[in-house]
Structure 1
């Protein structure tokens, strides 16, 4: 039975890092995935099927037609791509990842001060969704808001490790700048004015939030997932992966491709709201995270989303008699309510938006 309230979790919260370090040799049943959802064994990288890697040339904007074309192709064919020479300081990227690793290794009583609830997710958490008895993922996380500015509460940002708040602020400025440039590229590639997507998402009031992910060692990684299969509900995601421990898997047809991280690269992917706005020219893609028996893993996902109260629908310029609107309008607040209740559920939510005519 699903809880009717988003003010509390339906069951006592268990921190996955604590489970991992308790010495257990078998994971609790609440983390065991149904057989079809369990990860397949991993025996290396399929370099022929890896997501595209795009060199942005170290320039901010003014990218060549060749770069625009590669981004367009990646968005249409994969929904995922990696970017290198993207303009964000690699030193800050590495420091951010290690600061968050330090945070997750702090004593539980210090982290507990930042415990979250399902209403906003903001703070320290260990589950998604409020469905009682749901099978859980093998991960802890920290979620915080950055945009719009009025949603930002630096006091909810962790004060430890030292200088963590200052680093979050500097990293956020740089990653937001990269995202704004990428959204211009996507607008141009769709044949729209370069500021179209950002304005459709709320302009200066569009949303941006960070989720720091911690995937502890798992004694039975073949039975569970760090994050269940899902497509991101928002507009665009910029992920800083763990360079040393692969974990992200992207669905390509009937296969799961394990992404090989490139040093100092970001992984970019299309979210559901971009699929809706582009009238499915660009598609969000299912992805998931596998865990490891010998190594922990840290990643940082920045989500760029529409302002919560704006109706998102296919751009009128992309709707024709031959290509009618595929999706019904919905605000992002309404859309993510489903996610907060149910947790990750493949692509079921965006598919439910499809117009009855289709």
Structure 2
């Protein structure tokens, strides 16, 4: 029997080259050929938030609305984060992932090697219930609210990581609120409608990501296709390596960032609150044969006790609610359960 099992193993090794079989996606789910670049609008946050004396703010708001309605992604410049701080954030991320495996495992997000927790270090070298593994490493740390930070899970090496991340996240929180207010204004709601729904108790999770070069980018994903489950995501990618792709009308497009810009996308809690006018986009990360990729994402959610529902100001006889009400914590529980099955919990809430 052992001899009969050997040929299939050899075929897999021959097919995947240097990629272990547990990373290989099923044939129908593998990354497609080179994708076209996504013409995602670039928003000048300085102009967007300034008094509209010359029409500049209105112009940026129109670009933002177009981006939210079509892509769910947009790029921002003039965002108020110094390039030196962005460099420092990327440098401490790189230093952490360059640590020896045993040092990184001190902050593992698995308790007793089995029980998963949201914060901590994750390497996809671990087994995963029949699903192909992602070609990546991740470090997830909660940055908001401040009193909920698990500083025992924040690495000591590099020593500056804690201070740099806290300073960086303080800046991105300002950007979050600016974007939420701009979205409310675009939709004709009270400017603070979304900010008040998020509240100061909302969780924010920083995720540092490392995607090493991959010998067979056609077989694996750095991060499988997914939707973000919170309210808003702010992403910073090192250089112009690329890798991020967004789905639109059944076709995948490359999202190409520029140095010192930020990529922002709508997540599902916000889709519910805006009644689907600005949908959350599916996205994924593909690998690169020659280059490593580093990223820093801040995932902003809503208060766990907030009842997610379409904003009443967006509803009338011609525009009924598209989603049922759900408490944020119940929504997140549903998201995790459905994600393991490759399904979207938000689909169960559609009216």
Residues 1:216 and 2:212 aligned together:
yes
- TM-score, with structure 1 as normaliser: 0.86
Residues 1:106 and 2:133 aligned together:
no
Residues 1:52 and 2:52 aligned together:
no
Give CA deviations for 1:308-331 in whole Å, capped at 9, x if unaligned.
232211111112221111111222
Aligned pairs for 1:1-358 within 5 A = 25-42=17-34, 46=37, 49-57=38-46, 62=51, 64-117=57-110, 119-127=116-124, 132-201=129-198, 203-341=199-337, 343=339, 348-355=344-351
- Give 5+ residue unaligned stretches, structure 2: 1-15
Q: Return 298-307 or 130-139, whichever deviates more.
A: 130-139
How much does 1:341 deviate?
Answer: 4.1
Give CA deviations for 1:138-184 in whole Å, capped at 9, x if unaligned.
11101111112221123321111121111011101111111111111
**Corresponding residue for 1:11?**
none
CA 331–128 in structure 1, closer or farther in 2 if over 3 Å, else same? farther
Kept after mapping to 1: 8 A contact 2:140/2:205: yes
Determine which structure has more spread, i.e. the larger CA radius of gyration: 2
Aligned length: 328
How much does 1:234 deviate?
Answer: 0.6
What secondary structure does 1:57 align onto? helix
Runs of 4+ aligned residues of structure 1 deviating over 6 Å after TM superposition are 128-131, 344-347
Q: Return 33-42 or 345-354, whichever deviates more.
A: 345-354
More helix by share: 2
CA–CA separation in structure 2 for the residues paired with 1:134 and 1:181: 38
**Corresponding residue for 1:8?**
none
Kept after mapping to 1: 8 A contact 2:233/2:298: yes
CA–CA separation in structure 2 for the residues paired with 1:130 and 1:217: 21
RMSD of Structure 2 on Structure 1 (CA): 2.3
